[in-house]
Amino acid sequence: MLVAIALTVAAACQGEPPAAAPFHAVGFHSSWVLDEGRRYRYPGDSGAVYGGPHGAPRPVLVNEWYPATGTDPERAMVHGDYFAIESAGERIAPFAQALAEYAREIAREEVGAQTFEAALNTPARVFRDAEPATGPFPVVLYHSGAGSSFEDNAAFCARLASRGYVVLGSAFCRADGSDLGIDGGDGSGDDLELLTRHAASLPHADAGHLALAGHSAGAQAVLRHACKPSSRVDALVLLDTTVDYYGLDMPLHARLVDEVLAAADDLALPLFAAASSEASFQLCDRLDRCRRIYWTVPALGHNEYIAQGLQALTADDSEHATAVRAAHTRLVDDAVAFLDAELRGEGGALARAISAGRASTIGGPAPHVELAEVGVAAPAPYDPQSPNPPTPRQLPHLLRERGPALTGEVLVRFAGRGCPWEESNMVLGSLLWELVETEGRVGEARDLLARIETFRPRVTSLFTFLADFAELVGRRADARRAVAVHSALAPDDEALRSRLADLSDPASDR
């Protein structure tokens, strides 16, 4: 497909008109499936709401968006109708009610109470239980992120259905029943397997052409699932994983990094990764058996990669909000074009998106696209004599290949010009982490820090964040690592020395 896309890029540059794509009405169906192979109870310590003391088959919410025939006004949904996930079975009903209430409260917090009430009555442009169109249609499984509600990207799912995809989503609740947030690990993987089997049972779905998509921790979950030998996946859409801003030796995403790198030699599928312009894509670059599209734009905040982030801006007509809406629309269009190319073999729209994205400036107002072909594990080397700054993706390689002194000179030379990396604690802090912890070059790291602090004075606050988060989730060893790096860079800081001593005291772990 990549060769075909490359040829089509050339045609697109010559002004070839875009092919017309059919739009479908969108149906929506919500149901529950019991996974008899897994035991589940909620809450996990009692099973009082579902499962009892010994557990019961895991109830899995299945939300399905699909191409439909007919637009009966009586079936038209508003957004609030997505929370109507009642079960016909008495055993599941209390759990379904608890999950609906949980999701509504999450959505209210994310969108804002006043805006949320208005959002509930916004037409969803979908029709409940409408007759499915004749298929079969390719399938996309969608996984929402941590701290999310199961309908947080419903507009994206509906858009895919309008373009001829069957989209299945779920709540992906924690497997241990400790709360109703997403599992993100093996529990999510098992739910994705169930959704795959469910898709295969639908006469209007073609589960032989299947993609996974997700946002944030949901994107991490689908990437982790794609790495399993049993996974049947043809393409991945990763919306702001958050992994893409960090070095691979840093502890925040260590489990995911280890799992993905262990499978990297066997993972060979096309991948669309969207992130902020500061992303260095160090993990994705290790997946060099995959065809990768790196889609970046500065306008989108983390939640603005999904529809819920736009709901929060409903009443905002500022220039910023307008830019966010435009960037989000382009993201959805380009993700659909990617899926059309990889699941349908229709590469024209993607070729045009790649052509336009390559022509834009990274960090500029328009989305920028980098295409990493199979076998490519790094960007083109940066020329320190270039009149242009290095990209975030080039920076780690510049550090490793040309050293911290030259890297510091380049950073200072281009600081103040709006480079995507110059306000990124994550990207700049990752360089310092690599020098201190991975390579043990503390003196050179302090020299590089001094240069960085001329334009980014609070870069080391990254290490405070990493330590605080690690302690919050009970990973004290990771907290020690973060404080140790920070203390090495600031040896005269008494507070850091004290915190490191406390974290290093075995008695404090009890």
- If you search the block for the tokens 């990124």, which residue do you land on? 424
Distances (CA, A) of 423 to 269, 301, 321, 413, 449: 33, 14, 21, 15, 14
Residues of the chain falling short of pLDDT 50: 2-21, 510
Q: Select from 508, 510, 509, 470 the least CA-distant residue to 486.
A: 470
Q: Taking a C-beta distance cutoff of 8 angstroms, is the pair 227, 259 a contact? A: yes
User: DSSP states of 127-187 as a string?
Assistant: EETPEEPS--EEEEEEE--TT--TTTTHHHHHHHHHTT-EEEE---B-TT-S-SSB--SHH
Handedness of CA 248, 249, 255, 258 (dihedral sign): positive
pLDDT tens string 474-499: 999 999 999 999 999 999 999 999 99
The pLDDT score that the predictor gives to residue 89 is: 83
**Residues near 101 by beta carbon (within 8 Å), at least 6 away in sequence:** none
- pLDDT at position 70 is 83
pLDDT score recorded for residue 386: 96
Let me know: does 220 contact 214? Beta carbons within 8 Å.
yes
Encode pLDDT of 161-203 as tens digits.
Answer: 999 999 999 999 999 999 999 999 999 999 999 999 999 999 9
Amino acid 441 reads R
Q: Say what the pLDDT of residue 22 is.
A: 58
Distance of CA 138 to the CA centre of its chain: 21
**Phi, psi (5° rounding) for residue 345?**
75, 20
Residue 294 CB coordination number (10 Å): 25
What is the DSSP annotation of 235-292? Answer: EEEEE--SGGGS-TTSGGGHHHHHHHHHHTTT----EEEEE-TT---HHHHT-TTS-E
126 sits in the region (left: phi over 0; alpha: psi -120 to 50; else beta) called: beta
List residues bridging with 48 in a β-sheet.
none
The Cα-based distances of 337 to 129, 146, 274, 340, 436 in angstroms read 27, 27, 14, 5, 42
CA distances from 406 to 304, 385, 419, 447, 457 (A): 36, 11, 17, 11, 20
Q: Are strands 271-275 and 292-296 parallel, antiparallel or unpaired?
A: parallel
- Rounded to whole angstroms, the Cα distance separating 176 from 205 reads 31
- Specify whether the backbone of 268 is left (phi greater than 0), alpha (psi in -120 to 50) or beta: beta
Q: Is the Cα torsion angle 57, 61, 67, 69 positive or negative in sign?
A: positive
Q: Nearest-CA neighbor of 302 among 158, 167, 444, 426?
A: 426
Residue 416 gets the label, from left (phi > 0), alpha (psi -120 to 50) or beta, of left
pLDDT score recorded for residue 216:
98
Could you tell me which CATH number the domain at 22-240 has? Answer: 3.40.50
Q: Say how far apart CA 378 and CA 507 lie, in whole Å.
A: 44
Q: How many CA atoms lie within 13 A of 440 on its CB side?
A: 0
The CATH 3.40.50 domain(s) of the chain lie at 22-240
Please choose, from the candidates 47, 1, 61, the residue with its C-alpha nearest in 3D space to the C-alpha of residue 343. 1
Question: CA dist 149 to 106, 140, 333, 379, Å?
Answer: 6, 18, 23, 36
User: Is it true that the peptide bond before 43 is cis, omega within 30 degrees of 0?
Assistant: yes
In order, the DSSP letters of 423-444 are: T-HHHHHHHHHIIIIIT--HHH
Q: Report the amino acid identity of residue 402.
A: R
- pLDDT, residue 506, reads 73
Which of 458, 482, 488, 485 is closest to 469 using CA atoms?
A: 482
